[in-house]
């Protein structure tokens, strides 16, 4: 149901992923199950509501949240057993998995990518590749799960800035684009706008069709279902028509990469 009224839900568990990212496992007492790439509005009483992508929904709803401001700060202070409000799921989610798909995730873009990978792995598909860029090695989330996935799919990780222990690639995510197996894949890009912008540029250089590139867009959101008017990019509402857009659909709107 599309409603402005949050439903109370309990925090089953909290996991510290990195310095500034925590995952919250919540009871799922909503009627509808999500699809990969959808998001929820999470209400922290006394602080406010924020849109957060679903990362996983096996034994409850899992959200991974980076601490960046007022509400996320308050959310990070919540503990197992505390009550949150929740509404959703909202948005269109990722496109159907129809062929080899390359997920390009930057920073806190990995949680939504996880929802896709987990979902389609569970349906038996291994026809995926993950290119993941983090700021530093200590900002890498889901280390254990990344390890596990690499048993089934091709996973490449890069960091903007390495440290003593880091043996992998150093550089922005486009520096590992030579790992892309198949240019005829679907490409799903999730991350900060600047990273999406350069990724699209590079993919186009590789000859990837604009119709095969999907972007998960981020805008300020308030309602989550197309009535508050906050999240539009041109004629589209990111909450309702997105957050995932085919690049060819929105590329001519100057607001896309501001």
Partner 1 sequence: MIYKIKKDLLKKYIDGLLEKYEVWGPKKIGNDTVFSKLKSGEEFIDARTLLGPKESIYPIKEKIGEMESKEIIVMGIKSCDLRAYRMLDDVLGIDEFYSSRRRNVHFLNFVCTEPCEYGFCSTFFGPRLDEYEMQFTDIGEYYIVESKNDKLIGRDFENATEDDLKILESKMRDFYNKMPPMNIENLHKKISWDDPRYREFSKRCISCGACNFACPTCFCFDTYDDDGLYREWDSCILSGFTRMAGNVNPRNTLDLRLRQRFMHKLRYHYENFSYYLCTGCGRCIEVCPVRIDIRDFIRGVGP
Ligand X SMILES: Cc1cc2nc3c(=O)[nH]c(=O)nc-3n(C[C@H](O)[C@H](O)[C@H](O)COP(=O)(O)OP(=O)(O)OC[C@H]3O[C@@H](n4cnc5c(N)ncnc54)[C@H](O)[C@@H]3O)c2cc1C
CB closer to partner 1, 12 vs 228: 228
Binding of partner 1 by 197 (CB under 8 A): no
If you ran DSSP here, which 8-state letter would residue 133 be given?
A: E
Distance in angstroms (rounded) separating the CA atoms of residues 35 and 64: 16
Query: Cβ of residue 152: shortest distance to partner 1, in angstroms?
Result: 34
Per CB under 6 A, the list member of 159, 180, 231, 244 interacting with ligand FES is: 231
Cα-only R_g, the chain: 18
If you ran DSSP here, which 8-state letter would residue 6 be given?
A: P
Dig out the tokens for 150 from the structure: 């690499």
Using CB under 6 A as the binding rule, the residues of this chain from 128 to 157 that contact ligand FES are none
Q: What DSSP letter does each residue of 35-104 carry, written as one string? A: -TT-EEEEEETTTEEEEEE--B-SSSEEEEEE--SHHHHHHHT--TT-EEEEEEEES--SPP--S-EEEE
Per CB under 6 A, the list member of 109, 112, 137, 224 interacting with ligand FES is: 224
CA 10 vs. chain centroid, Å, equals: 23
Binding of ligand X by 86 (CB under 6 A): no
Q: Are 34 and 58 in contact (CB under 8 A)?
A: no
The site for partner 1, by CB under 8 A, has a size of 35
CB closer to partner 1, 109 vs 118: 109
Binding of ligand X by 65 (CB under 6 A): yes
Query: Cβ of residue 207: shortest distance to ligand X, in angstroms?
Result: 30
Residues found near ligand X in the complex (CB under 6 A): 39, 48-53, 64-66, 68-72, 108, 111, 218-221, 243
Enumerate binding residues for partner 1 (CB under 8 A): 2-6, 43-49, 68-69, 72, 85, 193, 218-220, 222-223, 225-230, 232-235, 254-255, 258
């Amino acid at each position: 149901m599309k409603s402005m009224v949050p439903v109370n839900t309990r925090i089953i568990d909290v996991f510290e992923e990195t310095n500034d990212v925590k995952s919250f496992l919540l009871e799922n007492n909503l009627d509808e199950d999500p699809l990969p790439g959808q998001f929820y509005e999470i209400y922290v009483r006394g602080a406010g509501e924020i849109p957060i992508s679903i990362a996983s929904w096996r034994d409850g709803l899992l959200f991974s949240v980076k601490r960046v401001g007022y509400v996320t700060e308050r959310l990070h202070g919540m503990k197992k057993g505390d009550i949150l409000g929740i509404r959703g799921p909202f948005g269109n989610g990722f496109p159907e998995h129809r062929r080899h798909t390359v997920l390009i995730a930057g920073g806190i873009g990995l949680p939504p990518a996880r929802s896709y990978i987990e979902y389609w792995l569970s349906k038996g598909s291994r026809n995926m590749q993950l290119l993941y860029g983090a700021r530093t090695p200590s900002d890498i989330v889901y280390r254990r799960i990344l390890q596990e996935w690499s048993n089934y799919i091709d996973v490449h990780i890069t960091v903007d800035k390495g440290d003593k222990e880091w043996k992998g690639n150093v550089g922005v995510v486009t520096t590992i684009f030579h790992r892309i197996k198949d240019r005829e894949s679907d490409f799903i890009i999730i991350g900060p706008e600047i990273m999406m912008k350069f990724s699209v540029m590079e993919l186009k250089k590789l000859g990837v069709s604009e119709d095969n590139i999907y972007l998960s867009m981020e805008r300020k959101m308030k309602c989550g279902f197309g009535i508050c008017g906050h999240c539009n990019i041109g004629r589209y509402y990111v909450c309702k028509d997105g957050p995932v857009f085919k690049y060819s659909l929105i590329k001519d709107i100057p607001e896309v990469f501001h």
